């Protein structure tokens, strides 16, 4: 119980953490301890903090109502019976973090369906706890590499052999906190909790065997930011000369200038075949043999935040052993993040675990430690300085790469474009540290982008044009759960439960 008392406030956080006064105060001696205490003492802002959308005129109001209706329609049309595909054709299976984010979208208008999304995601959980990046529930020819290539235990595989950012605990908490059906929701949480816990344990066992507090990804696909320049230096291992010939399907759906190059794809497959040869079931072995082993900011920030939410759920369920275990991960994580800070750049960076070097690229995930609530106040201030400079070079926030980087490409997948899910996380994190103005700017840009370009996979930060897939599920979910919750409420669908959405 003593441990629980150290985290007194798990209520929605209402005060400002940061701002000039708070920053000055934190410059006092014993700063590290104070910073450490900061993440321990405060709960984070609610996942989907919303303010009122001031509709400037009738036209905008009706546009937003239209987008809300269309978002529900996109989720319904991408529903394959218990799971939602990210986009028809381009991504025909259940993707892990997509599904967890989409569950939050479903939750605002169909709670039962939202729980089902998470249940289906965990239905193919591996015995060792891993939840794979892709669950191949039904056959499809429109995606490569499909189940026949992955070659996990079953043939064809039921899942891919790697994981993706662990968002599920966040959605589970959100759904439990806002439920209209507390008794049923408690049951759902009772069932899901041990599965999510097992997955988080898997991350530490399989991807942090040396107990550094931060986990590795062994494939760029595991980060969710597949084609990020943060992997360029670590993706220079030799391409397997025995790679079987293959035909990419992504290029039949989307223009090649928006997608990874052939060279990059060859390396993705070099890793996949190597893992398959080394036997997917032995993660300890994979950790040792993978020529790609990187501490990624996206997975680690989400895992840290997910641990906080899992801890909150553990408290609701009275699982004190689990609370203590999760607190251990949080404490170690706080230490682990310290070595990802590049003081000169004023940014967090990913780290190549094989060479020990911080990756040079400044990517949007650099701001995700704000979402985790693991950044110190000084770090938050430097991040905000950097982000503000980035935004002088583009019209819309937040590009996936520093626009001043010569590798910046406004349309190529994770090398420049904007993803709404990352905008949501950064905006939520900024609000937590008290940078409301910047948080609002990101939210308003996101509204403008969807007004202008619709529910696209990602957006050009210079022109605001939509790119990649169309009728994209997680973009729709962001409109419902984050951007337009009050529009959802206005047109008659809403989650019940606590009404303090404004916190
Ligand atoms: C792309 C993204 C990945 C996402 C998937 C489905 O591969 O890089 O993060 O999960 O599409 O939307």
**Residues above pLDDT 90, as percent of the chain:** 74
Q: Is 112 exposed, middle or buried (0-12, 13-18, 19+ CB in 10 A)?
A: exposed
DSSP 479: I
Round to whole Å and give the CA distance between 491 and 482: 16
Round to whole Å and give the CA distance between 384 and 15: 19
pLDDT for res 57: 62
Q: Please report where in the chains the tokens 């103005």 appear, as a residue.
A: 437
**Cβ of 296 below 6 Å from ligand 1:** no
**Cβ of 226 below 6 Å from ligand 1:** yes
**E strand or H helix at 458:** strand 458-459
**Cβ of 136 below 6 Å from ligand 1:** no
DSSP 217: E
Q: How would residue 38 be classed by pLDDT, with cut points 50, 70 and 90? A: low
Q: Please report where in the chains the tokens 């680690």 appear, as a residue.
A: 300
Ligand 1 geometric centre to CA of 267 (Å): 17
Q: How would residue 180 be classed by pLDDT, with cut points 50, 70 and 90? A: confident
Q: 14-21 long-range contacts, Cβ below 8 Å, gap at least 24?
A: 14/503, 16/434, 17/42, 17/377, 17/432, 17/433, 17/434, 18/377, 18/380, 18/381, 18/433, 18/434, 18/435, 19/434
**E strand or H helix at 40:** helix 31-41
Report, as an integer, the average pLDDT of 73-95: 97
Round to whole Å and give the CA distance between 463 and 396: 8
Ligand 1 geometric centre to CA of 224 (Å): 6
Express each pLDDT in 411-466 by its tens digit: 999 999 999 999 999 999 999 899 999 999 999 999 999 999 999 999 999 999 99
Round to whole Å and give the CA distance between 174 and 313: 10
Round to whole Å and give the CA distance between 308 and 312: 6
Ligand 1 geometric centre to CA of 57 (Å): 35
**Cβ of 337 below 6 Å from ligand 1:** no
Round to whole Å and give the CA distance between 477 and 175: 14
Nearest ligand 1 atom, CA 224: 9
Pairing of strands 341-342, 466-467: unpaired
Which residues are catalytic, by number? 226, 457
**Cβ of 98 below 6 Å from ligand 1:** yes
Round to whole Å and give the CA distance between 369 and 70: 32
**E strand or H helix at 351:** strand 351-352
Best CA proximity match to 421, nearest among 15, 103, 41, 92: 103
**Cβ of 86 below 6 Å from ligand 1:** yes
* CA distances, 140 to each of 86, 223, 234 (Å): 14, 24, 32
DSSP 463: T
Pick from 88, 96, 98 the residue to mutate for probing ligand 1's pocket: most ligand atoms within 8 Å of its CB.
Answer: 98
Q: Which two tokens stand for residue 422?
A: 């990352």
Contact 262, 449 (CB under 8 A): no
Sign of torsion over alpha carbons 343, 18, 430, 410: negative
**Cβ of 224 below 6 Å from ligand 1:** yes
CA 193 vs. chain centroid, Å, equals 19
Q: 18-32, 93-107, 297-311, 378-392: lowest mean pLDDT where?
A: 18-32
Ligand 1 geometric centre to CA of 221 (Å): 8
Round to whole Å and give the CA distance between 168 and 118: 7
Ligand 1 geometric centre to CA of 234 (Å): 20
User: How many Cα atoms occupy the beta-carbon half-sphere of 58 within 13 Å?
Assistant: 0
Termini Cα distance of the chain: 27
CB atoms within 10 A of CB 254: 18
Express each pLDDT in 46-62 by its tens digit: 777 655 555 556 667 78
Round to whole Å and give the CA distance between 216 and 341: 16
pLDDT for res 253: 86
**What rounded mean pLDDT belongs to the chain?**
87
Express each pLDDT in 282-328 by its tens digit: 777 899 999 999 999 999 999 999 999 999 999 999 999 999 999 99
**E strand or H helix at 233:** none
Express each pLDDT in 239-270 by its tens digit: 999 999 999 988 888 888 888 899 999 999 99
Q: Which two tokens stand for residue 246?
A: 């293959």
Three-state secondary structure string covering 374-435: CCCHHHHHHHHHHHHHHHCCCCCCCCCECCCCCCCCCCCCCCCCECHHHHHHHHHHHHHCCC
**Cβ of 95 below 6 Å from ligand 1:** yes
Q: Is 386 exposed, middle or buried (0-12, 13-18, 19+ CB in 10 A)?
A: middle
**E strand or H helix at 295:** strand 294-295
Contact 140, 93 (CB under 8 A): yes
**E strand or H helix at 449:** helix 436-453
Pick from 78, 83, 86 the residue to mutate for probing ligand 1's pocket: most ligand atoms within 8 Å of its CB.
Answer: 86
pLDDT for res 250: 87
Query: Taking 70 as the threshold, does the pLDDT of residue 503 lie above it?
Result: no
């Amino acid at each position: 119980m003593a441990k629980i008392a150290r985290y007194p406030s798990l209520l929605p956080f209402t005060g400002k953490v940061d701002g000039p006064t708070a920053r000055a105060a934190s410059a006092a001696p014993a700063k590290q301890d104070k910073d450490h205490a900061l993440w321990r003492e405060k709960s984070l802002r609610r996942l989907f903090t919303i303010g009122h959308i001031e509709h400037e005129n009738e036209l905008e109001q009706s546009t937003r109502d239209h987008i809300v209706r269309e978002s529900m329609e996109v989720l319904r049309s991408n529903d394959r019976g218990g799971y939602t595909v990210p986009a028809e054709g381009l991504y025909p299976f259940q993707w892990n973090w997509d599904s967890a984010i989409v569950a939050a979208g479903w939750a605002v208008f169909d709670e039962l369906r939202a729980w089902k999304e998470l249940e289906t995601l965990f239905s193919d959980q591996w015995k060792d706890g891993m939840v794979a990046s892709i669950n191949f529930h039904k056959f499809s020819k429109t995606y490569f590499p499909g189940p026949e290539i992955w070659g996990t235990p079953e043939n064809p595989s039921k899942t891919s052999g790697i994981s993706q950012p662990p968002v599920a605990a966040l959605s589970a908490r959100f759904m439990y906190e806002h439920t209209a059906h507390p008794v049923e929701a408690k049951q759902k949480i009772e069932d899901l909790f041990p599965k999510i816990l097992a997955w988080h344990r898997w991350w530490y066992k399989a991807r942090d065997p040396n107990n550094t507090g931060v986990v590795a990804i062994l494939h760029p696909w595991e980060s969710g930011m597949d084609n990020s320049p943060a992997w360029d230096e670590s993706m220079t291992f030799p391409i397997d000369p025995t790679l079987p010939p293959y035909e990419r399907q992504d290029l039949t759906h989307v223009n090649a200038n928006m997608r990874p190059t052939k060279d990059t794809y060859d390396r993705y497959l070099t890793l996949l075949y190597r893992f398959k040869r080394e036997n997917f079931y032995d993660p300890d072995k994979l950790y040792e043999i993978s020529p790609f082993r990187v501490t990624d900011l996206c997975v680690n920030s989400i895992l840290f935040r997910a641990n906080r939410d899992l801890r909150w759920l553990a408290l609701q369920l009275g699982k004190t052993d689990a609370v203590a275990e999760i607190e251990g991960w949080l404490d170690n994580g706080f230490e682990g993040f310290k070595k990802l800070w590049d003081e000169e750049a004023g940014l967090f960076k990913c780290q190549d675990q094989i060479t020990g070097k911080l990756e040079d690229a400044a990517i949007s995930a650099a701001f995700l430690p704000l979402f985790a609530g693991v950044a110190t106040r000084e770090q938050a201030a430097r991040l905000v300085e950097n982000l503000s400079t980035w935004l002088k070079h583009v019209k819309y926030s937040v590009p996936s790469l520093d626009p001043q980087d010569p590798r910046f490409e406004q349309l190529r997948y994770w090398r420049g474009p904007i993803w709404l899910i990352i905008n949501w996380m950064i905006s939520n994190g900024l609000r937590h540290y008290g940078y409301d103005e910047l948080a609002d700017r990101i939210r308003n840009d996101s509204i403008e982008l969807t007004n202008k370009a619709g529910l696209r996979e990602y957006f050009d930060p210079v022109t605001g044009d939509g790119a990649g897939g169309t009728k994209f599920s997680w973009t729709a979910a962001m409109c419902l759960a984050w951007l337009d919750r009050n529009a959802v409420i206005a047109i008659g669908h809403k989650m019940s439960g606590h009404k303090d959405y404004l916190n």
